[in-house]
Every structure is written in C-alpha cells, then in structure tokens.
Amino acid sequence: MPYLELKSVSKGYGSDGARTEVLRDVNLAIEQGEFVAIVGYSGAGKTTLMSILAGLIRPDTGSVTLEGREM
C-alpha cells in the first residue's frame, strides 16, 4: 500500500464557459521514504498538485489517500 496515493484526481478553475482544467485524471503513488521531484513548465499545475497533496485544496474529482486514510 502506498504511503501517499492520488487516484483519478482532477482540478479546474473558473466557470463553465471559461473553465481551465489544471489537472486531469492524475494518478500518483509514493512509497514511504521515497524521494519525488515535481517538475514542469510554468502553469503546468505543480502548485495545484502540491496544494492538493498538502490538503489545502480539494480536488474536483478523485481521491487522495495518506497512510490508507482518505484526506
């Protein structure tokens, strides 16, 4: 069982007419003690991903699990 896991996570901003999908159907599994680097272009969704992992914002769809407990 992964220490931290994202399953089918999506997040967007804006209204229906001008909605921007920042993350779409992201899956990620991180084992305890594993080192991970999040890299990408400006506007790629790195900060949104980290905010979801930290529990600061909730994904629109999908689930985030930490040590087997859904956040």
CATH (domain of 24):
3.40.50.300
* pLDDT of 25 over the 80 cut: yes
The percentage of residues in the chain with a pLDDT greater than 90, rounded to a whole number, is 92
Question: What is the helix (H) or strand (E) element at residue 61, kind and residue range?
Answer: strand 61-66
Tell me which of 16 and 32 has the higher pLDDT: 32
Supply the range of the domain harboring residue 58: 4-70
What mean pLDDT do residues 23-45 have? 96
Q: Which residues are bridge partners to 7 per DSSP? A: 63
* pLDDT of 69 over the 90 cut: yes
Only one residue has tokens 């900060």, namely 47
* pLDDT of 23 over the 80 cut: yes
User: 31 pLDDT band (50/70/90 cuts)?
Assistant: very high
